[in-house]
């Protein structure tokens, strides 16, 4: 796929607060890319710079091969859907969607055809004459999306658009957005702090923290192979431990040596280790690599979440087999499920991402 957006050395500050520091990122045509990170990490600022709502202090925004850094938002081939739907309350659904079309002064017959098509895409056939205040939150969001896609932009920017919806509606809209992206062939750039949303919808996830990109990859690679402790901790639940890389394929965790598959970290070198809760196997005490006691148990529906105190560390364990609080258990981990990472040498290195 060709590059549609290419952000080159983007820097943005507000006073003494550096929000983006020499960011480089490209987005391909027909890609669903999610900017994911905690509040203040720079993801919304990145989106606003792409949309033309903010100007970078330095750097360039290249759109389909052309420099659009100084081009105003209304001249860019993109539309934005915000968390607040910003529908006109005195206009019907049809009038809201038609607003952008009429600015372009096309025929009313053309407008009507485009509006019907947009409403069909968001499953709101027959809602043309409804007023916004008669619609549910999910329906209002669909109208906002229909208004954004009716002009067939090359790029759709979505700034936490599902944040105001309840859980069931959010899940429904996630599937709707995936379907729309596939049907329309539009590139989506999506901003969220919700890890589940990012993992569910994205082709590519960009994890950000403190103005820096921590990792770029598919949902599978981000989850299964985090490049640093921040990514591991932010994406899903993790057991993150200090460890020592004894040699290739052998790591010492909490005084116990485990076989692993990682190489190239040197010998007797401090490292960070990530083990996902679902990758910790509970056995009879004598069969475990280390022994512990179950301290807490919570039923989560599809699995039990247990805390196991072993070798002075509170292990988080997800399993379909429940062990009651107070039970003595053994813990084992498959070598392929132990993720070794470089340990940052400083706070600054930790913010930038040591594996970047």
Name, in order, each residue with C-beta under 8 angstroms of 301's C-beta and a sequence gap of 6 or more: none
Q: What's the whole-number average pLDDT of the chain?
A: 90
Q: How many Å apart are CA 100 and CA 104, to the nearest integer?
A: 7
Higher-confidence position of 210 and 163: 210
Express as a percent the part of the chain with pLDDT over 70. 94
CA angle, 343 as apex, 220 and 292 as ends, to 5°?
75
Looking at residue 114, its pLDDT comes to 86
Point out which residues pair with 329 in neighbouring strands.
292
The answer, yes or no, to whether residue 309 has pLDDT greater than 50, is yes
The answer, yes or no, to whether residue 260 has pLDDT greater than 60, is yes
Q: Please state the φ and ψ torsions of residue 70, each to the nearest 5 degrees.
A: -105, 5
Express as a percent the part of the chain with pLDDT over 90. 62
- 40-62 exposure pattern, b = at least 16 Cβ within 10 A, e = fewer: ebbbbbbbbbbbbebebeebebb
Looking at residue 99, its pLDDT comes to 80
The answer, yes or no, to whether residue 352 has pLDDT greater than 70, is no
Looking at residue 334, its pLDDT comes to 97
Q: Is 314 in contact with 241 (CB distance < 8 Å)?
A: no
The answer, yes or no, to whether residue 355 has pLDDT greater than 50, is no
Looking at residue 356, its pLDDT comes to 40
Looking at residue 149, its pLDDT comes to 85
Looking at residue 22, its pLDDT comes to 94
DSSP 85: -
Looking at residue 106, its pLDDT comes to 62
Binned at pLDDT 50, 70 and 90, residue 109 comes out as confident
- 200-224 exposure pattern, b = at least 16 Cβ within 10 A, e = fewer: bbbbbbbbbbbbbbbbbbebeebbb
Looking at residue 111, its pLDDT comes to 80
Q: How many Å apart are CA 198 and CA 196, to the nearest integer?
A: 5
Dump pLDDT digits (tens) for 176-191.
888 888 888 899 999 9
Q: What is the mean pLDDT of residues 244-249?
A: 97
Dump pLDDT digits (tens) for 15-69.
989 999 999 999 999 999 999 999 889 999 999 999 999 999 999 999 999 999 9
> pTM to 2 decimals?
0.84
Q: What is the mean pLDDT of residues 78-89?
A: 83
Helices (H), the chain: 43-51, 93-103, 108-121, 137-149, 167-184, 195-201, 219-224, 229-234, 347-352
Taken in order of first residue, the domains within the chain and their CATH numbers are 3-224 (3.40.50.300), 238-352 (2.40.50.140)
Looking at residue 354, its pLDDT comes to 46
Q: Is 132 in contact with 95 (CB distance < 8 Å)?
A: no
The answer, yes or no, to whether residue 254 has pLDDT greater than 90, is yes
Looking at residue 183, its pLDDT comes to 86
Q: What is the mean pLDDT of residues 218-229?
A: 92
Dump pLDDT digits (tens) for 114-129.
888 888 888 888 899 9
């Amino acid at each position: 796929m060709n590059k549609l957006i290419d952000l080159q050395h983007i820097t943005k500050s507000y006073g003494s607060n550096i929000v983006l520091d020499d960011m480089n990122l490209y987005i391909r045509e027909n890609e669903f890319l999610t900017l994911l990170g905690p509040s203040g990490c720079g993801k919304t600022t990145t989106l606003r710079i792409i949309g033309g709502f903010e100007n970078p202090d330095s750097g360039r925004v290249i759109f389909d091969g052309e420099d659009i850094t100084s081009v105003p938002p209304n001249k860019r081939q993109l539309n934005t859907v915000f968390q607040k739907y910003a529908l006109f309350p005195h206009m019907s659904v049809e009038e809201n969607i038609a607003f952008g079309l009429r600015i372009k002064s096309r025929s009313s017959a053309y407008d009507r055809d485009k509006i019907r098509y947009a409403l069909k895409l968001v499953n709101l056939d027959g809602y043309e004459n409804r007023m916004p205040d008669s619609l549910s939150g999910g329906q209002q969001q669909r109208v906002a999306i229909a208004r954004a896609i009716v002009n067939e932009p090359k790029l759709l920017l979505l700034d936490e658009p599902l944040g105001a919806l309840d859980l069931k509606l959010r899940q429904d809209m996630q599937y709707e957005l995936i379907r729309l992206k596939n049907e329309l062939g539009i590139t989506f750039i999506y901003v969220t702090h919700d890890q589940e949303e990012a993992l569910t919808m994205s082709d590519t996830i960009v994890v950000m923290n403190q103005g820096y990109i921590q990792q770029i990859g598919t949902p599978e690679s981000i989850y299964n192979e985090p490049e640093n402790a921040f990514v591991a901790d932010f994406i899903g639940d993790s057991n993150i431990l200090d460890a020592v890389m004894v040699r290739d394929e052998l790591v010492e965790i909490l005084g116990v040596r485990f076989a692993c598959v990682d190489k190239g970290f040197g010998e007797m070198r401090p490292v960070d280790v990530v083990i996902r809760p679902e990758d910790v196997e509970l056995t009879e005490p004598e069969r475990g690599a280390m022994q512990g006691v179950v301290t807490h148990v919570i039923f989560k529906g599809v699995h039990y979440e247990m805390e196991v105190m072993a070798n002075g560390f509170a292990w988080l364990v997800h399993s379909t087999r429940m062990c009651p609080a107070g039970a003595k258990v053994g813990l084992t981990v498959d070598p392929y499920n132990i993720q070794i990472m470089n340990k940052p040498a400083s706070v600054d290195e930790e913010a930038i991402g040591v594996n970047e």
